[in-house]
Structure 1
Amino acid sequence: MADIERVVSSQKPAAHDDLHCLLIDVHGLKLAVPFDYVEGASEIRDLTLSIDSRQDWILGRYGDAYQQTVVVDTGVWVIPSTYNVDDAAYTDIVVLKGRSWALACNSIIESIYIPLSSLNINKDKTHRAWLYATCLEKRCAILDIQQLLDEFGVMIV
């Protein structure tokens, strides 16, 4: 848990021309989660998940009767063609804004600042609608968290 707290708290003042993100690893893919959408992080071993067998992209839920957080199998969602559930080795979750959803990840790598000028914006939302942009300099994909939240909401019904 100390590593997660160190990563999340190692922030510098944000410049207006940078995107502040939490860099995570999902099955070897580096994903950047914009900090504006991060509410917290936790180690999976610290959670008691209730199993949800209705959706293959949901690992489970935790919380109480008043606030349930759904933990998403991020690999199933973002790289379904190459992801093998048998190889999943999730250790952490990133809790998203609103605390209704969390992304499972293999590890939380670091807090990063990505220059807006280095972003290659995804202009074709028909494929990988969850992809906001890529950054070759940081070798990562930046998640469109609002798009993901919208998709989760539609699929959970």
Structure 2
Amino acid sequence: MFPFFLACQANQTHFLVRAAQNRRTEADEEEITYSLDRARAFPSQQSRPLEVPARHGHKARSTQVQLAFGHMTLLPPRHEPQASNEPLTVWVIRVWEELAPEGEKPLEWILLTSVPTMTLEQARERVDWYRQRWLVEIVQSQMTKTKLFRTWGSGDHIADLHFLVGDYHTVN
């Protein structure tokens, strides 16, 4: 994933991804910590309602989630030759459910982004972007299956998505 982050940076493109690995981070010049552990230590900055859609045998439900955000510096992987030796500062947004209904695993998203996130409003916006990921995944997979990118597209998949959905104001 680190090469992806660097490629985005080199191409002046932002990213927003859900963290899956507990990556090494720089807490200060001498202390190394881990990303998921640090994100889980962020104090809640807001409680807000969230609608969880139905999925694979789970009913749709309403819940209350906590929201926290901050930034951290990710250290490059030690065993990945393509990665730079330079650390990378990212913004981290954590959304979690303290009390899930019986039989449900508590919701937790730890999001990493290159988009500066310094206010609650910005953190909520990044969460809303993440909640729309299914639309991008569906449109992209269908366009790829039908070869629309290759038959009429410009080769710039983001611009092609703008052309397809016709809304130049919501995707940057």
Same fold (TM > 0.5):
no
Structure with greater helix share of residues: 2
For normalisation by structure 2, the TM-score amounts to 0.26
Query: Larger radius of gyration, structure 1 or 2?
Result: 2
Which structure shows the bigger proportion of residues in strand conformation?
A: 1
